[in-house]
Amino acid sequence: MRIGRLFMAAALGVAAMPAAYAAEAYTAEAGGDAGNVRTSAQASLRGAAAADAELQAFYASRNFRPLWTVGGTVTPAADRLIRLLETADLDGLDPQDYRPRALSAAVARARSGAPAALAEVEMLLSRSFADYVRDMRRPSNSGMVYVDRALAPSVPARREVLSAAAAAPSLEMYIDSLGWMHPVYAGLRRSMDSGNGRVRLSERQTLRANLERARALPASAEGRHILVDAAGARLFLYENGRVVDTMRVVVGKTTEPTPMLAGMIRFAMVNPYWNVPPDLARNRIAAGVLSEGVGYLRARRYQVLSDWSEDARVVDPATVDWQAVADGREELRVRQLPGGANAMGNVKFMFPNDFGVYLHDTPDKALFQEANRQFSSGCVRLEDAPRLARWLFGRTLRTGSTPEQRVDLPDPVPVYITYLTAMPEAGGRIAFQADVYNRDAAQMAGGGGDGTLAAR
């Protein structure tokens, strides 16, 4: 089995080998004099790591097996990392914080195969890599509100950063793909790096603003999450770092923009009521009653309630001073019964938040054919709510006739509502989208007068 794996490693190249295979190849070489070299290299690495508790813990956990070298040779992953650090300004960071020139010099010295030089380059590469990843993972100033605090970004420890890199099937590919960041971030970042002079200044500024927003997205590729892009009015379903489905959505009007939120979808409400926002009750419902009488409410299946509590009672609409409601002198709770033309459709997906924002079905399907889909009061209307329900629950949700049927999700799923005026596409292309909420200028101003992001 070992011979077969080593043959495979030779055919694919060291950089493409899974970490376990690379370790086995390194150990297999250790016969005779090579064994002495390996022992000497490990001893040198053990001594070099002693000065840094986190690095020492990482290397001790792998019996001081190197990460950036195999069999006394520096792997291509080191060169890929140095190239990335040299362009750290694209991340709003100062490249000199990670000493790319010193790393290049250390790599050159390590090519001699001397154990001390190999240990030195291991320490320098691991430290610079860990610091770079930690800086990229620091909370952004994008305006994202984390209604579930568990979703807020946290800065990983050096050992955690290095362990994730060591567990990757290919360290070189992990670095190339920015495996510690969300795929949207990686796509935008690559376009800035490869585009360079072909990207206009205004586009580069837009890309920088969107990179900052993308930093607020989840770093882990594992599991499932939902991404809603309010700028493009589209929803994406992610599984293990890949988009598995997408659909159109309707988002907030420019006067009532959908906020950037991150929360956990915990349950669905089947056959929901629609609680009419107070401003709509004042401007639309009251005006309709004053024009057509209380029959306006019956025709549209509206009820008037005494208050906003869970045990509110139904009120006779004939007893309401509708002129006072229309004038704004009285606030009224109005809800629409489930079914029919209910604005919530058949289901809404809840991630409790103080903004009253959620994802929901809608009977008004024609709006999804519009190029610009900013029509809601802030919530996200779904093109195909049953399809989202099947993805979330693994089954179709039966509606029945009972109002407000709560269906809990066994494993809550994160949802990130963001705002991306630049989105990566296949082939390294970038799709620029209209800044419908005028957030780009504010984002750029927050990071510096020339549109660059503040260094961290």
Just list the catalytic residues. Answer: 360, 379
Q: What is d(CA 49, CA 62) in angstroms, rounded to the nearest whole number?
A: 13
H/E stretch holding 19 reads: helix 19-28
Sign of CA dihedral 34, 39, 45, 47: negative
In the three-class reduction of DSSP (H, G, I as helix; E, B as strand; rest coil), residue 99 is classed as coil
For residue 9, which phi and psi values (nearest 5 degrees)? -60, -45
18-21: long-range contacts, CB 8 A cutoff, minimum separation 24: 18/169, 18/170, 19/166, 19/167, 19/168, 19/169, 19/171
At CA 188, angle to CA 446 and CA 134, rounded to 5? 65
CA atoms within 13 A on the CB side of 372: 8
For residue 153, which phi and psi values (nearest 5 degrees)? -60, 145
Are residues 260 and 417 in contact, defined by beta-carbon separation less than 8 angstroms?
yes
Are residues 121 and 68 in contact, defined by beta-carbon separation less than 8 angstroms?
yes
Here the tokens at position 137 are 């993972």
Sign of CA dihedral 54, 57, 59, 61: negative
C-beta neighbour count of 233 within 10 angstroms: 27
Helix axes 19-28, 2-12, angle to 10 degrees: 110
Burial of 99 (0-12, 13-18, 19+ CB in 10 A): middle
Are residues 360 and 348 in contact, defined by beta-carbon separation less than 8 angstroms?
yes
Beta strands 374-376 and 302-305 are unpaired
H/E stretch holding 211 reads: helix 201-214
In the three-class reduction of DSSP (H, G, I as helix; E, B as strand; rest coil), residue 241 is classed as coil
What residue has token string 């509502």? 417
Q: What is d(CA 404, CA 227) in angstroms, rounded to the nearest whole number?
A: 26
Q: Which amino acid is at 296?
A: Y
